């Protein structure tokens, strides 16, 4: 553990405040911290990490968009450092299964999902867990066969079921299993033993997300190695265990990089004076907590209107919000992520979040990244 | 509409709270804050009988509130359920006492030697286990006659008046720590007084006795309001007391407009000790006359849940970093599981230890010389679970000053 | 070919009540419903069991009917009724002379009511406006419309009656001026069927005009749309009425864990294709806020509309929807149109369904020469619940889950108890907003119930699954899996069911443009639109 550099600065003053700990906020904070900025990350909740697994679709984006390559590379590297490495890249497209038995077309996905693409002549076992109401391997296998057929892929999907011990007075649940995977070596061994006979006859096992909320490459690749079989872990209904794992890992990575977290208190208001954002007031007990900074990135999601006075806004070419007349709301204010979403479609949302998050973080760090709105 | 009506309507059923709940993580049978809070609240308002023993297992750590993206006051909804919860006779009687640490403290410090001796006797503990379901696994903290007084006017320097709210633990179990707080304040330009205070009321709420909590809040508000209105700040060294004064007094007294307003003024003037010192630092008034380090000290910091819930950042962590020779890691390894009186209860003891297991593992992995934490019951749990010494940050800071250090 | 004595068309409360009454009098009957139970006005109203207070000034006769039926329904179906009581609130902006007129009218017809001071009323209902002048009590109550309809049908089926859902009547076979039979089509399977019968009862509510055409007769209806808002949690313990001449948005009914505000009155061409405008919604909220100020910030969960089918015989004037009497009309088409064996029952309201059924079946019995009097005012719709099963349930499930299941299932609770004893995982609560267990889910999908669910929305009507704040987002998927696991649907059918279900759930939220439900809908779109690569065509459309 390296000793933290103590800088003689005003308390609660930072180079950059990032508001929002979703994919965009995390990426922008990481980008800026990577450029040496002292970053505060203010958030309530983990954004969409609780819903999915962070897979990135880029088909709808203009591949030639400046910085898209750089942003994706940065994000991949960040996840690697966090122990939840993403695989893939802009030029790639893989079909990853979903719990509806359909396929998601993604360009980047975490390593514990990346193997999910149906390969020719592969024997795939879809493994359910007895008593788990949120995942039925027969249903998923049958639908995957159908959808794989539409794609012209030749994989065989067979449904299997394992039984795992559950705590007394409980029913099987992904959150329970995920927590026990983290805390209980005997549970991990039990899971491995249960999967072993299935792994012996399959090249890939598709299973519901239960492989821990704090785990990383070591634990999951370790399991794959033990089994001699690849795993594709699917996020089930919220809370998505793989999604929360990614969030926890990224958060830990950012803490190690010196990002200061202020978790659990909404922003009361942005302090903007003379078109310059001075900081934020957080809605904390007894008195608002004032955080000041040289710049601010708003990555607070699609329902952030209140923070900008409920006026509709656009962003200029370097991600800074402008009002209806086209004037900058504040010269040191940036926006990233779903807050920029113009339609109700969430397709490609993670890609947009990573791109704009990275770009905003670099712009705030004065790193002259080129960004043009897609 | 009442504030908690809005809060109830905010829930989007995302389960972030369940993911953050230390009891869910450690004890899969626990229904979780989402169910005990907003889900059952809709049923309660329908008139459906929803009482369950499970509400007793809520730690009151507020991690659900901090995790919620939608400003649902989850823990408050559960606390309200606790208030109407029917307990078994033994638990009712036991928890009546646990809800009144001020009373317990007064009684046990009449003849603390006797009390401490008795509480250490195995047969006594077995009796307490049988008749009160207080686990014999725990060591009771020693009670001590209070030596905590406002420093005399003659020795008090010029300085800003602050009122130190000690809380029951410092008052009855760690009065020397209280003296250290006063010294630390004096060394940093303050003129401290000790508040005439009773229990802050957190244990009353935690044990399902909001009426007692309300009485505590009223008594404390009335005893501190004059000082606050005269411009003094209130300072706490125990995070639970600080949390309660900042959030709980107003809630408890909302039925009386005048008292509620007073509670609001007090809350606005209440500071955690580290919060206060950091504010001093920003004004260039923090005493940094530290003695040079004789050797490096590896410490680990554990932020109590009621510190996180105050939303003041990590002031102790940041302050102590400045001491020469101190190397400190922020454990950030979850709730310790003690939650005040919770960990003493026989039926809750296993959950308490399971919740804390992640922290214990983190401490073992960090291998520090001591764990620094400002909550007395976190200290107890850490020492009980790991054997590693737990120290209040006040003592680290105070001992770091060189002799004769003055502002 | 199937054969029976009476075919009833329309599975709302009236049709269900007729089926029950016929079964009690030993007359074999089959009820055909084009969709699922209570698809029309029955399933799209407040669920208010009227005390009669709403009609007491203008229509004493209707009010008296309510007074009588209110007591009867509470007696025969206590498991469907939450006897909340009601208030008629004297708002400051309303006419004090009307208050007195109202109270005197109540006394005249024997509607029990007490006068309350403003303080007393506010003590009982803190969410009322602080400047009210007082209030009157009344025996208003909430009735679960689906459970009521279900109970009538289930009890009738237990006595040998039959009920077919998703069966649309295609033709009424009339030969020589006499009803011979009914041709129908199962809209889910595509199968066609024919039922030979002596009589056909048109209880099709808003579709009564259309059905009558199949028999070659005219039943002129005016369709009057009413829109209702569902609020996330109870803002009152009692039914709240505004003590003034009936108008829009002057009733708030606690309904299970939610409450329902309504309603409006707009003439529409027919019972389908109903739309709701933003103006209409805002109008309801504005007016509702006058009655219960907390509504301004309350979370609207869902907006839905239903149609009051009002019988407009040629002699009626062009008066508006409210002014046509809420009374019902029993049309003997043998006398009116020389079509022997065809009867229509139109108009009326939920509270008087049993009375309407009684009148209808009295006529049917007369025509068929069956000399058995009506006993539906006495016979309980449900047997006493199973004490042993209840005790076992308490050991297996938490208190609120048991209470809800017991209320819904009654004696059938034993079935889910044994299911859970055999498979403990069935104790899991699948719909967390409304506390529905996996066991109950499998029960309504399976073969042990006389009214199995055929779609996910059907499950909702029988259990309230998906009726809470998440509007089926989290439980809908699991309900789909339950249907797959109980072999109701194969995988492809299950997938299609879920898509349809989400569509329907989303539709009822898409008109809400403020409050937390907007975010809830967004979450639902995000979850299934992207994470599961599902429904992306919908997610891409604005305000779909």
Domain membership flag for residue B17: yes
Q: Is the pLDDT at B407 greater than 70, yes or no?
A: no
* Residue indicated by tokens 């025509």: C367
Give me the interface pTM, i.e. the ipTM.
0.94
In this complex, the chains that touch C, judged by 3 or more CB pairs closer than 8 A, are A, B
Of C176, C184, C177, C179, nearest in space to C342 by CA: C179
Q: Cβ contacts (< 8 Å) between B29 and chain A: which residues?
A: 167-170
Q: Tens digits of per-residue pLDDT, A147-158? A: 988 888 877 899
The residue in chain A having the minimum alpha-carbon distance to the alpha carbon of residue C540 is A345
Write down the pLDDT at residue B293: 87
Is the Cβ pair C523, B46 closer than 8 Å?
Answer: no
Mean pLDDT of the region B75-80: 93
- List own/partner pairs for C500-507 with CB under 8 A and 24 or more apart: C500/C455, C500/C456, C501/C455, C501/C456, C501/C457, C501/C466, C501/C472, C501/C476, C502/C472, C502/C476, C502/C528, C502/C535, C503/C538, C504/C457, C505/C466, C505/C471, C505/C472, C505/C473, C505/C476, C506/C538, C506/C544
> pTM (2 decimals)?
0.94
> Under an 8 Å CB criterion, which residues of C touch A?
424-425, 427-428, 430, 438, 474, 477-478, 481-482, 484-485, 490-492, 494-495, 498, 518-519, 522-523, 525-527, 529-534, 536, 539-542
Domain membership flag for residue B153: no
- Residues of chain C whose pLDDT is less than 70? 315-326, 530-544
Write down the pLDDT at residue C383: 83
**From the list A52, A343, A344, which residue is nearest C531 (CB)?**
A52
Q: Tens digits of per-residue pLDDT, C98-151? A: 999 999 999 999 999 999 999 999 999 999 999 999 999 999 999 999 999 999
Distance CA(C95)–CA(C99), nearest Å, equals 7
Is the Cβ pair A289, B313 closer than 8 Å?
Answer: yes
Domain membership flag for residue B110: no
Lowest pLDDT segment from A115-124, A287-296, C278-287, C379-388? A115-124
CA distances from A147 to A102, C170, C419, C500 (A): 6, 37, 34, 19
Domain membership flag for residue B312: yes
Is the Cβ pair A175, B71 closer than 8 Å?
Answer: no
Is the Cβ pair B12, C298 closer than 8 Å?
Answer: no
Q: Which of B83, B110, B141 is the last residue of a domain?
A: B83
Q: Is the pLDDT at A30 greater than 70, yes or no?
A: yes
Write down the pLDDT at residue C324: 46
List CB contacts of C36: < 8 A, sequence separation 6 or more.
Answer: C11, C165, C166, C453, C454, C455, C457, C458, C461
Q: Among A63-72, A359-368, B371-380, which range has the highest average pLDDT?
A: B371-380
Please name each of the domains of chain A with its CATH number.
13-75+248-364 (3.50.50.60), 86-237 (3.40.50)
Q: For the CA atoms of chain A, what is the radius of gyration?
A: 22
Beta bridge partners of A113: none
Is the Cβ pair A285, B267 closer than 8 Å?
Answer: yes
Q: What residues make up the domain containing B75?
A: 3-83
What is the three-class DSSP state of B48?
coil
Percent of chain C, pLDDT > 70?
95
Domain membership flag for residue B168: no
Q: Which of A133, A233, A244 is the best mutation test for C, with the most CBs of C within 10 A?
A: A133
Q: Tens digits of per-residue pLDDT, B348-405? A: 999 999 999 999 999 999 999 999 999 999 999 999 999 999 999 999 999 999 887 6
Write down the pLDDT at residue A133: 96
- Is residue A106 within 8 A of residue A186, CB to CB? The reply is no
Is the Cβ pair B42, C433 closer than 8 Å?
Answer: yes
HSE toward the beta carbon, residue B63, CA cutoff 13 A: 25
Of C526, C524, C413, C505, nearest in space to C456 by CA: C505
HSE toward the beta carbon, residue C346, CA cutoff 13 A: 28
- Is residue A29 within 8 A of residue B331, CB to CB? The reply is no
CA distances from C340 to A147, C176, C196, C366 (A): 55, 9, 14, 13
Distance CA(C64)–CA(C417), nearest Å, equals 43
Write down the pLDDT at residue C532: 54
Domain membership flag for residue B269: no
Distance CA(B163)–CA(B182), nearest Å, equals 10
Write down the pLDDT at residue A4: 41
Q: Which tokens is C53 given? A: 């207070």
Mean pLDDT of the region B62-82: 95
- What's B237's DSSP letter? S
Q: Is the pLDDT at A119 greater than 60, yes or no?
A: yes
Write down the pLDDT at residue B147: 78
List CB contacts of A135: < 8 A, sequence separation 6 or more.
Answer: A99, A128, A129, A174, A208, A234, A236
Distance CA(C487)–CA(C269), nearest Å, equals 40
Q: Cβ contacts (< 8 Å) between B319 and chain A: which residues?
A: none
Distance CA(C83)–CA(C74), nearest Å, equals 8
- Closest CA–CA distance from residue B14 to any residue of chain C (Å): 9
Banded model confidence at residue A1, pLDDT cuts 50, 70, 90: very low
Q: Is the pLDDT at A210 greater than 60, yes or no?
A: yes
Q: Tens digits of per-residue pLDDT, B250-300? A: 999 998 999 999 999 999 999 999 999 999 999 999 999 999 988 899 999
Tally the domains of chain B: 2
Please name each of the domains of chain C with its CATH number.
2-40+146-220+325-368 (3.50.50.60), 83-142+224-305 (3.30.9.10), 387-539 (no CATH)
Q: Which tokens is A274 given? A: 């003379």
Q: What is the CATH number of the domain that holds B60?
A: 1.10.1060.10
Distance CA(C296)–CA(C288), nearest Å, equals 8
**From the list B16, B28, B358, which residue is nearest A45 (CB)?**
B16
List CB contacts of A51: < 8 A, sequence separation 6 or more.
Answer: A235, A238, A240, A243, B14, C523, C526, C527, C531
- Closest CA–CA distance from residue C261 to any residue of chain A (Å): 27
Q: What is the CATH number of the domain that holds B321?
A: 3.40.50
Mean pLDDT of the region A183-205: 96
Domain membership flag for residue B335: yes
Q: Is the pLDDT at B154 greater than 50, yes or no?
A: no
- Closest CA–CA distance from residue A56 to any residue of chain C (Å): 10
Q: Tens digits of per-residue pLDDT, B83-104? A: 999 999 999 999 999 999 999 9
Banded model confidence at residue B339, pLDDT cuts 50, 70, 90: very high
Q: Tens digits of per-residue pLDDT, A235-263? A: 999 999 999 999 999 999 999 999 999 99
Is the Cβ pair A133, C495 closer than 8 Å?
Answer: no
Question: E-strand spans in A218-343?
Answer: 230-234, 260-263, 267-273, 276-282, 289-298, 314-315, 321-322, 333-335
Q: Is the pLDDT at B148 greater than 90, yes or no?
A: no
Q: Which tokens is C275 given? A: 């739309």
Domain membership flag for residue B247: no
Q: Which of B51, B83, B115 is the last residue of a domain?
A: B83
Q: Cβ contacts (< 8 Å) between A12 and chain B: which residues?
A: 313
- Is residue C400 within 8 A of residue B54, CB to CB? The reply is no
Is the Cβ pair B6, C297 closer than 8 Å?
Answer: yes
Q: Which of B27, B55, B83 is the last residue of a domain?
A: B83
Write down the pLDDT at residue A319: 93
Write down the pLDDT at residue A121: 62
């Amino acid at each position: 553990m390296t000793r933290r550099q103590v800088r003689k600065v005003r308390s609660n003053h930072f180079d950059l405040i990032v508001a929002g700990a979703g994919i965009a906020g995390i990426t922008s904070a990481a980008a800026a911290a990577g450029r040496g900025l002292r970053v505060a990350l203010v958030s309530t909740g983990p954004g969409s990490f609780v819903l999915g697994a962070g897979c990135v679709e880029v088909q709808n984006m203009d591949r030639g968009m400046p910085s898209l390559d750089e942003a994706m590379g940065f994000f991949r590297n960040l996840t690697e450092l966090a122990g939840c490495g993403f695989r893939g890249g802009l030029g790639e497209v893989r079909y990853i299964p979903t719990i509806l038995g359909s396929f998601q077309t993604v360009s980047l996905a975490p390593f514990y999902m990346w193997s999910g693409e149906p390969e020719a002549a592969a024997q795939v076992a879809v493994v359910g867990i007895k008593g788990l109401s949120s995942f039925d391997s027969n249903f998923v296998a049958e639908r995957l066969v159908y959808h794989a057929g539409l794609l012209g892929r030749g994989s065989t999907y067979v449904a299997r079921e394992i039984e795992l011990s559950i705590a007394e007075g409980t029913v099987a649940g992904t959150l329970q299993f995920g927590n026990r995977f983290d805390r209980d070596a005997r549970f991990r061994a039990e899971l491995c033993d249960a999967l072993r006979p299935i792994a012996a006859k399959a090249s890939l096992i598709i299973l519901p997300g239960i492989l821990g909320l704090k785990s990383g490459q070591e634990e999951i690749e370790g399991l794959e190695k033990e089994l001699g079989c690849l795993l594709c872990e699917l996020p089930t209904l919220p809370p998505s265990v793989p999604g929360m794992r990614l969030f926890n890992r990224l958060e830990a990575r950012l803490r190690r990089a010196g990002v200061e977290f202020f978790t659990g208190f909404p922003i009361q208001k942005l302090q903007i004076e003379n078109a310059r954002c001075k900081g934020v007031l957080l809605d904390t007990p007894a008195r608002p907590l004032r955080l000041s900074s040289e710049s601010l990135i708003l990555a607070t999601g699609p329902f952030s209107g209140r923070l900008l006075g409920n006026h509709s806004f656009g962003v200029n070419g370097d991600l800074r919000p402008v009002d209806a007349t086209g004037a900058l709301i504040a010269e040191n204010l940036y926006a990233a992520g779903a807050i920029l979403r113009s339609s109700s479609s969430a397709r490609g949302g993670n890609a947009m979040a990573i791109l704009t998050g990275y770009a905003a973080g670099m712009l705030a760090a004065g790193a002259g990244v080129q960004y043009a709105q897609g | 509409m009442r504030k908690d009506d809005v809060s109830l309507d905010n829930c989007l059923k995302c389960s972030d709270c369940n993911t953050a709940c230390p009891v869910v993580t450690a004890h899969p049978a626990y229904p979780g804050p989402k169910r005990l809070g907003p889900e059952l609240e809709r049923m309660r308002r329908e008139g459906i009988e929803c009482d369950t023993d499970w509400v007793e297992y809520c730690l009151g750590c507020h991690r659900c509130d901090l995790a919620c993206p939608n400003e649902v006051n989850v823990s408050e909804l559960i606390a309200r359920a606790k208030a109407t919860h029917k307990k078994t006779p033994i638990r009712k009687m036991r928890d009546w006492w646990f809800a009144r640490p001020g009373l317990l403290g007064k009684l046990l410090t009449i003849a603390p030697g006797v009390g401490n001796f008795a509480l250490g006797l195995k047969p006594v503990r077995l009796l307490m286990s049988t008749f009160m379901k207080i686990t014999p696994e725990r060591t009771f903290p020693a009670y001590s006659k209070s030596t905590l007084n406002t420093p005399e006017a003659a020795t008090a320097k010029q300085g800003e008046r602050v009122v130190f709210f000690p809380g029951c633990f410092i008052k009855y179990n760690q009065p020397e720590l209280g003296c250290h707080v006063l010294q630390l304040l004096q060394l940093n330009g303050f003129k401290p007084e000790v508040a005439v205070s009773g229990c802050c009321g957190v244990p009353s709420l935690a044990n399902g006795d909001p009426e007692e909590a309300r009485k505590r809040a009223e008594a404390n508000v009335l005893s501190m309001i004059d000082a606050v209105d005269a411009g003094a700040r209130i300072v706490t060294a125990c995070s639970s007391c600080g949390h309660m004064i900042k959030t709980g007094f107003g809630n408890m007294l909302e039925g009386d407009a005048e008292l509620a307003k007073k509670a609001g003024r007090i809350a606005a003037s209440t500071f955690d000790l580290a919060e206060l010192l950091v504010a001093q630092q920003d004004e260039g008034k923090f005493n940094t006359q530290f003695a040079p380090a004789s050797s490096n000290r590896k410490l680990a910091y554990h932020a109590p849940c009621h510190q996180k819930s105050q939303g003041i950042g990590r002031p102790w962590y940041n302050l102590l970093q400045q001491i020469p020779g101190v190397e400190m890691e922020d454990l950030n390894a979850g709730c310790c599981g003690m939650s005040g009186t919770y960990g003493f209860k026989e039926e809750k003891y296993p959950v308490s230890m399971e919740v804390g297991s992640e922290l214990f593992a983190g401490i073992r992995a960090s291998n520090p010389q001591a764990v620094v934490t400002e909550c007395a019951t976190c200290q107890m749990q850490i020492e009980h679970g790991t054997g590693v010494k737990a120290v209040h940050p006040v003592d680290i800071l105070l001992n770091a000053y060189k002799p004769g250090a003055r502002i | 070919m199937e054969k029976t004595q009476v075919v009833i068309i329309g599975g709302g409360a009236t049709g269900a009540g007729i089926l029950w009454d016929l079964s009690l009098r030993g007359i074999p009957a089959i009820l055909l419903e084009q969709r699922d139970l209570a698809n029309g006005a029955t399933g799209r109203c407040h669920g208010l069991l009227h005390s009669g207070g709403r009609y007491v000034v203008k229509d004493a006769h209707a009010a008296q009917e309510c007074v009588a039926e209110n007591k009867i329904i509470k007696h025969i179906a206590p498991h469907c009724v939450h006897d909340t009581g009601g208030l008629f609130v004297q708002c400051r902006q309303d006419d004090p002379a009307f208050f007195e007129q109202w109270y005197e009218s109540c006394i005249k017809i024997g509607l029990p009511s007490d006068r309350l001071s403003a303080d007393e009323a506010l003590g009982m209902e803190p969410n009322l406006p602080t400047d009210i002048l007082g209030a009157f009590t009344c025996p208003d109550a909430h009735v679960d419309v689906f459970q009521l309809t279900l109970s009538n049908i289930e009890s009738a089926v237990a006595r040998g009656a039959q009920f077919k859902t998703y069966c649309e009547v295609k033709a009424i076979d009339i030969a020589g001026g006499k009803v011979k039979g009914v041709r129908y089509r199962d809209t889910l399977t595509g199968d066609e069927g024919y039922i030979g019968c002596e009589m056909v009862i048109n209880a099709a509510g808003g579709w009564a005009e259309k059905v009558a055409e199949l028999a070659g007769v005219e039943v002129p209806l005016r369709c009057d749309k009413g829109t209702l808002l569902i609020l996330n949690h109870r803002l009152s313990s009692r039914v709240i009425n505004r003590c003034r001449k009936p108008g829009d948005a002057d009733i708030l009914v606690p309904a299970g864990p939610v409450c329902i505000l309504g309603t409006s009155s707009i003439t529409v061409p027919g019972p389908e294709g109903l739309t709701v405008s933003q103006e209409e919604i805002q109008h309801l909220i504005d007016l509702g806020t006058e009655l219960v100020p907390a509504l301004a910030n309350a979370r609207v969960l869902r907006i839905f509309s239903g149609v009051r089918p009002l019988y407009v015989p040629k002699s009626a004037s062009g008066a508006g929807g409210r002014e046509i009497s809420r009374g019902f009309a029993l049309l003997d088409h043998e006398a009116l149109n020389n079509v022997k064996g065809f009867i229509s029952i139109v108009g009326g309201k939920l509270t008087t369904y049993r009375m309407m059924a009684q009148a209808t079946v009295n006529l049917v019995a007369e025509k068929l020469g069956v000399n058995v009097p009506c006993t539906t005012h006495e016979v309980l719709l449900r047997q006493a619940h199973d004490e042993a099963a209840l005790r076992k349930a308490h050991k297996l499930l938490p208190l609120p889950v048991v209470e809800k299941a017991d209320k819904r299932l009654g004696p059938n609770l034993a079935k889910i108890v044994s299911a859970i004893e055999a498979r403990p995982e069935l104790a899991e609560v699948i719909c967390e907003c409304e506390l529905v267990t996996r066991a109950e889910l499998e029960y309504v999908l399976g073969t042990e119930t006389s009214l199995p669910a055929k779609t996910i929305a059907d499950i909702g009507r029988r259990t309230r699954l998906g009726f809470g704040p998440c509007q089926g987002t989290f439980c809908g998927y699991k309900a789909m899996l339950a249907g797959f696991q109980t072999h109701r649907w194969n995988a492809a059918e299950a997938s299609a069911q879920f898509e349809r279900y989400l569509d329907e759930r989303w539709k009822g939220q898409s008109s809400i443009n403020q409050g937390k439900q907007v975010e809830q809908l967004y979450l639902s779109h995000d979850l299934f639109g992207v994470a599961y690569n599902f429904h992306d065509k919908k997610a891409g459309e604005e305000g779909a």
